[in-house]
């Protein structure tokens, strides 16, 4: 057995950079937290494979990036091994057994505003630990305990409060938040921890120790499960020990598309990301982009119209495949369907988004993504989430982790759709043990069976579109990984009928021209927080880049 692995400083031993391209030839980890990326690289250097490094990185993020990194949430993994085999692991959260389609409605059948996003009732059964454990059992190389050990060290010994976390500490302390969240970043005097101070989490370290020693049973059975049930019962939640015991991560076939000779591998439902992204790439492939300059009025208009159609299809058809067996996925990702979708786009004016049709459900904005590749070319793309930033904000102090609020990703009010984006279509209504539809889009792009791009992003409802545009920039406009990540992004989700764009990256003339075409534009500081790796096969070089929108993120290679 390999000896206990401790976290060590590796910047002097590795190529590392927070916000520019990083080059290596043996392995690369890119995540939303530089310390977590270091953990992943150490695992690779100890002889672990990309799966091992992903597991260690994910647990490290649960310590150092608590606003999204988690053991109280869930997500998806896409894995391509060095023999070109591709698979995915679905560890999306599930509705508890006691959940129902009307659980967030009042006596008149109206949605109680905010109820599906706030409080313990909004928590789905967590899937992260089960998903990472399944990945290890099937594809890992190093002992499980050695992959959890660095995160335990971080929780016991403490992590330095970054500027981001210190800012969060002040905001959380001065706002109306759940008691557990308000206590998260306090010093011994009950004041918010300051920038540069050391933040220790002994309760989380204890929980991680049980997971280290007992595998997934350390979370889904025993004292942790008992405390989760007790806490939920005391605070209005409905997750029980039986829900935890019954939870299973699922290995699923990847969704596969193509774009001009490249293979696109992403998640199938209950993620909507792969379906929508491949549908959009298919439409763009049939458009004449050779004569459509990037960032031009024509490019932005066409891209927005393509997004509009894909998100309408998403809401109408997609949900948990174990509950929705009639999803026409093959049709939605076919070239013929894309041809029909392209044919009804008017390049002179924006389409109408009518609330009698379909749109996108609400998605939280705080998810996180990381990309990993090892020396043998095994590639992993993982996106996981708590839903909103810090999830429900609730958690048992004795366990030390935050519960998600993913029940808000279900359609909350059966049969009711409005122009603001509230959707009531059947495929994503709440049912016991059902997985809520997701926008997460972890993706691997390959050429001749070998990875050329590993990419993904947080961003809730914007994830699909930011990943789609990054892939398009990389493949169609021949941008580098860094250029593809930093390039201007837009977002349209059918309902509400608004075109979001990154401020300061779209010219005033283009904004005016798009407005004249009928688009209702709204600026945002940024869209997405992409973490990517490209592979220069000819030179045997891995190139990593972390989005500049992530102040704590970083790419590390060796």
- Please identify every residue annotated as catalytic: 367
Which residues are registered as beta bridge partners of 259?
Answer: 262
Report the distance separating Cα 164 and Cα 194, nearest Å. Answer: 10
Helices (H), 287-397: 297-317, 329-332, 335-343
Report the distance separating Cα 53 and Cα 41, nearest Å. Answer: 7
Say what the alpha-carbon torsion angle 127, 157, 13, 141 is, to the nearest 10 degrees.
-40
For the chain, helix, strand, coil in percent to 5 are: 35, 20, 45
Which position has the token pair 């959940």? Answer: 99
Q: How far is CA 4 from CA 43, 149, 152, in A?
A: 11, 7, 11
Assess contact for 217 and 226: CB atoms under 8 A.
Answer: no
Report the distance separating Cα 265 and Cα 249, nearest Å. Answer: 19
Token readout for 347 is 């390049």
- Residue 137, CB half-sphere, CA atoms under 13 Å: how many? 12
> Which phi and psi angles does 155 have, rounded to 5°?
-70, -40
Which position has the token pair 């005016």? Answer: 512
Assess contact for 366 and 390: CB atoms under 8 A.
Answer: yes
């Amino acid at each position: 057995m390999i000896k206990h692995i401790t976290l060590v400083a590796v910047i002097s031993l590795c190529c590392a950079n927070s916000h520019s391209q990083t080059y290596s030839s043996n392995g690369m980890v890119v995540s939303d937290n530089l310390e977590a990326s270091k953990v992943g690289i150490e695992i690779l250097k100890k002889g672990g494979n990309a799966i091992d490094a992903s597991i260690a990185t994910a647990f490290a993020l649960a310590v150092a990036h608590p606003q999204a990194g988690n053991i109280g949430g869930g997500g998806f993994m896409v894995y391509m091994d060095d023999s070109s085999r591709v698979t995915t692991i679905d560890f999306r959260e599930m509705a508890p057994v006691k959940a129902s389609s009307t659980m967030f409605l009042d006596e008149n059948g109206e949605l109680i505003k905010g109820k599906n996003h706030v409080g313990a009732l909004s928590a789905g059964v967590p899937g992260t630990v089960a998903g990472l454990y399944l990945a290890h059992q099937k594809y890992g190389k190093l002992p499980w305990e050695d992959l959890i050990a660095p995160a335990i060290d971080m929780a016991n010994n403490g992590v330095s409060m970054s500027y981001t976390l210190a800012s969060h500490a002040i905001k959380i302390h001065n706002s109306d938040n759940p008691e557990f969240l308000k206590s998260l970043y306090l010093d011994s005097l009950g004041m918010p921890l300051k920038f540069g101070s050391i933040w220790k989490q002994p309760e989380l370290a204890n929980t991680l120790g049980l997971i280290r020693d007992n595998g997934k049973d350390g979370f889904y059975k025993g004292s942790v499960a008992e405390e989760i049930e007790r806490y939920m019962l005391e605070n209005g939640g409905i997750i029980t020990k039986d829900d935890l015991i019954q939870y299973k991560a699922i290995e699923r076939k990847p969704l596969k598309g193509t774009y001009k000779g490249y293979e696109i591998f992403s998640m199938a439902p209950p993620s909507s990301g792969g379906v929508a992204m491949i549908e959009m790439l298919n439409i763009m492939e049939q458009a004449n982009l050779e004569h459509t300059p990037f960032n031009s009025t024509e490019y932005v208009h066409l891209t927005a119209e393509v997004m509009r159609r894909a998100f309408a299809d998403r809401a109408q058809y997609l949900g948990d495949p174990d509950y929705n067996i009639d999803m026409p996925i093959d049709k939605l990702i076919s070239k013929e369907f894309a041809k029909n979708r392209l044919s009804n786009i008017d390049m002179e004016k924006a389409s109408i988004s009518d609330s009698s049709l379909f749109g996108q459900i609400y998605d939280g904005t705080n998810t996180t993504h990381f990309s990993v590749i090892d020396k043998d070319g095994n590639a992993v793309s993982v996106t996981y989430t708590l839903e909103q930033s810090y999830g429900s904000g609730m958690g048992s102090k004795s366990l030390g982790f935050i519960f998600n609020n993913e029940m808000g990703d279900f359609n909350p009010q059966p049969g009711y759709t409005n122009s603001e984006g509230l959707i009531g279509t059947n495929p994503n209504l709440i049912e016991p043990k059902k997985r809520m539809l997701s926008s997460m889009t972890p993706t691997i792009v390959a050429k001749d069976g070998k990875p050329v791009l590993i990419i993904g992003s947080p961003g809730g409802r914007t994830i699909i579109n930011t990943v789609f545009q990054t892939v398009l920039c990389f493949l169609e406009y021949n941008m580098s990984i860094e250029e593809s990540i930093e390039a201007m992004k837009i977002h349209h989700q059918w309902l509400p009928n608004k075109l979001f764009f990154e401020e300061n990256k779209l010219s005033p003339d283009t904004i005016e021209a798009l407005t004249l075409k009928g688009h209702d534009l709204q600026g945002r500081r940024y869209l997405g927080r992409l973490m990517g790796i490209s592979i220069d096969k000819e030179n045997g070089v891995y190139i990593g880049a972390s989005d500049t929108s992530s102040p704590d993120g970083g790419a590390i290679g060796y």
